[in-house]
Each structure stands twice: as C-alpha cells, then as structure tokens.
Amino acid sequence: MPSEDFDRLLSEAAARLRNDFISGARQMADIALADFAHLIEVAGKEARRKDGLWDEVVRAVKVLSKARPSMSAAVSTCLLRALKDIRDADMEKYEGPKEAAHMWALITKNRLDKRRGDGERIGRYFKKWLEELYNGVSLCFPFTYLIFVHMYFDN
C-alpha cells in the first residue's frame, strides 16, 4: 500500500518535470532519475514485501515518464534502463523491502553518476575537438559563440 508521503513526492516530482521549460532532454532525464532514486528510498520505508515495493517503483517510472510528453523518450529510456539495472541485480539476495529499496536506490544513483560523468566527458572531448579544429585557440564562451555565429552565417 503506497504511503501518502510517497504519493505526494511522486506528484511533486511529476509536476517538477511538467513545469520545467528550461532543462533539455538530458538534464530532465537526470532530474527524473534523481527523483526516482529518492522515491525508491521513500517507498522502501513503508513497503511490507518486495513485490509491493517493485509495484510502487514501476508505478513511479510510469508516472514520471508521462509527466512531460515532449520529453518522454529521454526520460522513459533513462528510467527504464535504471529499472533494468535493478531487475538485473539479483533481487532474491536482499532480505526484505527496506534492504532492497536501499540497494535499488544505490543502483539508480550509480546510473545517475555515470550519466553525469559521461556528459562531462563528452563536453571535454567536444571542446578539445573544437580547439584542434581552430588551431589550438583556447575556447571560452564568447569565443565559442562567435565561432558558431560565424559558421552559421557563412553557410
């Protein structure tokens, strides 16, 4: 049986996604993943059985995935991958729902950390590529902006 706290937090997380018109798809997926990890922990506090916990976790994925239809591809893909990571972790080895929730939240947080690290790594490689493309000129924001404006208007 879901707790009022879980339902309230799930509703707030969905509203946060629904009303975010600043973040891009990747950032929104990261926000959803962070909220999802927290929701798992909250659901674990009230769950009496692991299958009940699993049902709440799946419900959270569905609600968060539908919160913002224009971003649902990015958000749902990210959350479904986290759900797969959880499922692939041997669920039988966790004694009860509280221990399972703790481990599932850690698995989800690890996925989030990996995503953030990947994004930073891609940014560094892109910056290096641009610097090599423009003969080692150090890039700062105004210079990068001028390069792209120049490229846009020259083509």
Is CATH 1.10.10.10 correct for 4-122?
A: no
**For residue 89, with 0-12 CB atoms within 10 Å meaning exposed, 13-18 middle and 19 or more buried, which class applies?**
middle
- Give this prediction's pTM: 0.75
Contacts of residue 68, Cβ cutoff 8 Å, sequence gap at least 6? 17, 18, 20, 28, 75
CA angle 29, 57, 36 (to 5 degrees): 30
Q: Is the pLDDT of residue 155 over 50?
A: no
pLDDT tens digit string along 92-123?
A: 777 788 998 999 999 999 999 888 877 777 77
Whether the CB-CB separation of 85 and 115 falls below 8 Å is answered with no
